[in-house]
Amino acid sequence: MSQTLQAVRGMNDILPDDAEIWEHFEDIVRDWLRSYGYRPIRMPIVEPTPLFKRAIGEVTDIVEKEMYSFEDALNGEHLTLRPEGTASCVRAAIQHNLVAAGGPQRLYYQGPMFRHERPQKGRYRQFHQIGVEALGFAGPDIDAEHIIMCARLWDDLGLEDVRLELNSLGSAEERALHRAALIAYLEQHQARLDEDGKRRLYTNPLRILDTKNPDLQDVVEAAPKLADYLGDESQAHFNAVQTLLKDAGIPFRINHRLVRGLDYYNRTVFEWVTTRLGAQGTVCAGGRYDGLVSQLGGKPQPAAGFAMGVERLLALWRESGGEAERPVPDVYVVHMGDTARRLAFRAAEALRGHGFMAVLHCGGGSFKSQMKKADGSGAAVAVVIGEDEALAGEVGVKPLRGPGLQQRVAVDLVSETVAQLVFNENGEEGADNGSV
């Protein structure tokens, strides 16, 4: 007997009960994004590997350890399953000349991302993100808008215990001055650095500040702070962001060690974090990346954005009481006999055409077993068709939840009759009550 095949470790099936919650969550998110004027964009899952090396940085965990990369057997092209969405979105904007042709763009996307990590709660090899990118906006207002719109979503979802951490990475020149001071400082403590720290000391020392190693916390706490190297322009930008957040009543904490794991960030960076998800406490993160468009070959454009992890947000939402009601059909159509089956198809399609959610029984069975399934479906009404009804061009309409007896009506009147019963059951008229 052959072995049963399983999903790839860290890449999970989303079964119907969970998928309905996902769809409800995604509906909320789409409405929220539209309310801020963001438009959808969809990019390929597979991109050229050099895109991510140039955008994310070759000396990052994502590029060094986590990308799913392969060589195309047909043409030898080096390809990668996208590990994040910003680089793909910027590539698409450059390729299709979106900003130059249409002015500044507010864009969003959603879908799977892929990183070869050790699977654990809240961290998977295929995970899902909702990403927001604003291209062509230079001022601190768009930075603040991104943070404020996140706060509104948390409120819409009823999330608790989500707090904001904020920092500024300044300009490339300011980071270079800080980098030199940071290297000089860390060299004095080189013997205490772990393997990751020693490896990054001269390639990406800023990432050492983000270490989770408890033995290094005193070292990184005393390290030179990037805030001390910010020039007047960067400081003014950061102060303006803070002012707008204070005006909106959004509390935040300045975290000087917040550097983000991607090389393309500058100026404002932020994370929304929670203590309710264990070690995977970041549910949303982003910031400004003004140099990325030119870095990927486009005309220089300011840009900012953020991404949120769907799995983590859903876990937090459920913990806060969020759920989706399972869809319940209005009508369940049961039938017995060949002529009745043909009429049942016609009646079910007519009901759907008038806005009803109608389930047509398939798979045979006695009237008793079919009616048991009709009742179990939660439907308010059963439409019952036997051979006698079918030959007369009629159907039986039976209330399943409210008072009333089964009545026999012409098939052309089934929608009107069902509408009256569903209206009485729900107390509201949710479908067209015209006849078939």
Could you please report the per-residue DSSP string of 170-204? --HHHHHHHHHHHHHHHHTTGGG--HHHHHHTTT-
Predicted confidence at residue 429, as pLDDT, reads: 43
Report the pLDDT averaged over residues 306-331: 86
Predicted confidence at residue 435, as pLDDT, reads: 36
For the domain made up of 331-426, give the CATH fold.
Rossmann fold (3.40.50)
Percent of residues, the chain, with pLDDT higher than 90 = 47
Which of the residue ranges 204-208, 235-239, 254-258, 287-291 would you say has the lowest mean pLDDT? 204-208
Q: Is pLDDT above 90 for 117?
A: no
Class of residue 323 by CB neighbours under 10 A (exposed 0-12, middle 13-18, buried 19+): exposed
Q: Is pLDDT above 80 for 82?
A: yes
Predicted confidence at residue 263, as pLDDT, reads: 65
For the domain made up of 16-170+230-319, give the CATH fold.
BirA Bifunctional Protein; domain 2 (3.30.930)
Helix axes 49-56, 86-95, angle to 10 degrees: 110
pLDDT confidence tier of residue 240, bands split at 50, 70 and 90: very high
Q: Is pLDDT above 70 for 433?
A: no
Q: pTM for this one?
A: 0.82
Report the pLDDT averaged over residues 118-145: 89
- Sign of the alpha-carbon torsion through 44, 49, 53, 58: positive
> What does the mean pLDDT of the chain come to?
87
Predicted confidence at residue 280, as pLDDT, reads: 62
Common-topology check for domains 16-170+230-319 and 331-426: no
Domain positions in the chain = 16-170+230-319, 331-426
Position with higher pLDDT, 366 vs 208: 366
Find all residues with CB under 8 Å of 81, minimum gap 6, and list them: 45, 46, 67, 68, 69, 114
Please tell me what DSSP assigns to residue 232. Answer: H
Position with higher pLDDT, 271 vs 193: 271
pLDDT confidence tier of residue 26, bands split at 50, 70 and 90: very high
Q: Is pLDDT above 70 for 430?
A: no
pLDDT confidence tier of residue 99, bands split at 50, 70 and 90: confident
